[in-house]
Structure 1
Amino acid sequence: MSGEDTPDAVPLFLVPRAVADAIRHHGRAVREITVRRTRNHQYSINVERGRP
């Protein structure tokens, strides 16, 4: 089973916190984390999950 979470855009200074929260929430199920700049110093964080 794989899945993807796409939270709202976050400002640059909150990217490390958002990534840490995603890892804490999904644990070993995290397969890939992608951080992409959207606009106005906002970043979209995509978390791809796989089996734990």
Structure 2
Amino acid sequence: MTRTDQLTLAVGITGAAAVTVGAALLHPSAGWIVGGAFALAWSYLTARAVANRKGS
């Protein structure tokens, strides 16, 4: 993993955490929903990336 990849991952995780905490400050349940949505999106994109690597 290159330095740019690591930096991109760190910024993405930090951004997702910031949005989740911001939603939780508005309403605690919203924080859980936003965090879950980020987790589902991450899982989908990771699975898709792995499937594309195996198919090549």
TM range (shorter): 0.3 to 0.5
Q: Which structure has more RCO (C-alpha within 8 Å, separation ≥ 6)?
A: 1
Higher strand share: 1
Higher helix share: 2
Q: Greater Rg, structure 1 or structure 2?
A: 2
Q: TM-score, normalised by structure 1?
A: 0.37
